[in-house]
Amino acid sequence: MKIRKLLFLLIAVITFYDSMAVHAAVIEGVRFDETVTVEETRLFLKGTGLSRYLVVFKGYVGAFYLPKGVESLRALDNVPKHLVLEYFHAIKGTQFGHATKKMIAKNVTPADFRRLTPKIDQLAEAYRDVEPGDRYALTYIPGHGTSLSLNGESLILITGGDFAKAVFSIWIGPNPIDESFRSGVLGIDK
């Protein structure tokens, strides 16, 4: 009888602490929350990914969030979304700007690129240098715009759903910077 009571108490304690725990996803030792709240909108983790360069070097890890019930196939639609990237190496802000322009050009028509160029240039100029462990976050809220922050500090807000679709396409578009990363953050089996 004592064993049964002790077992019941142990299960109750484990259940209590499990319900109190902040659940998170961990990739390459980096922790990402299961949910985030942005502009009073709760978003849920779709997946995480690791981006490598030159096949063997770890560049960054990321986590992608969408509202509950929004399928990965609709990630570029006019819905709230949030992407967090944590870097393993120091990178100059100018390199981010150059890569942003190059990757958006690969994912939109030439006419759309020309039309969006002023906004793309604004974003490129907003990037700052990063050190290992720094986090960029890109967030889109319909009717509000796309914001870029570095380690929680807001750097810029750019309006327009068409711009959001173009910039998020860098990672989750038809021609992403890293297909394996896209599959991971969208939670899609490879």
The SS3 call for residue 64 is strand
Confidence of residue 5 (pLDDT cuts 50, 70, 90): very low
Which tokens go with 171? 């990672």
Q: Which of 76, 85, 79, 1 has the alpha carbon at shortest distance from 38?
A: 79
Is it true that domain 23-186 has CATH number 3.50.70.10?
yes
**39 Cβ neighbours under 8 A, 6+ residues apart:** 80, 139, 141, 144
- For residue 162, pLDDT over 60 is answered with yes
- Show me where the domains of the chain are located: 23-186
- For residue 113, pLDDT over 60 is answered with yes
Confidence of residue 95 (pLDDT cuts 50, 70, 90): very high
